[in-house]
Amino acid sequence: MINEDATSNSSEVIVPSREFDLGDVVSITANALVSSRGMAGLKDLLEYLVDRPDLPKQMFPMAMRLSRPWILQRHGQLADLEVPDWVNSHAYANRWVMQQKTRLGYTTLHIDPLPPELWERAEAKFFAEYRGRIIYENGN
């Protein structure tokens, strides 16, 4: 029997899931930068999630808002992870993430990218609002 999906003439490229460090992922789900790679880890994950290399940092908050529920839907065990107040430096963040890795029993998670249409709609809305602000501010 032939898999009809495999013979489809669709030009859509399926982006495979990728493994990311728990600290990278929790930086999004807990809205606190605890990635051992700092902003580079967050940027790497966000660019993968939205399938957009060189994602402008102005779009990080929107990408994070879209990505958080997407990740939690697939990895609900992260929903209760809250970064404590004492995690206020890179060293403390690394220590806390290591504690979570030990407690959870894994160091990485497989992450799937967002559905392209979800990001495309959000990006179009972002640029429409941005264009509107420019027109309003310039009086045109």
**86 beta partners:** none
What pLDDT digit, counting tens, does each position of 3-20 carry?
334 444 445 557 789 999
- At position 23, the amino acid (one-letter code) is G
- Per-residue model confidence as pLDDT tens digits over 40-68: 999 999 999 999 999 999 899 999 999 99
The lowest-confidence range among 108-112, 113-117, 133-137 is 133-137
Stated pTM of the model:
0.80
Burial grade of 12 (CB within 10 A; 0-12, 13-18, 19 or more): exposed
Q: What percent of the chain has pLDDT over 70?
A: 82
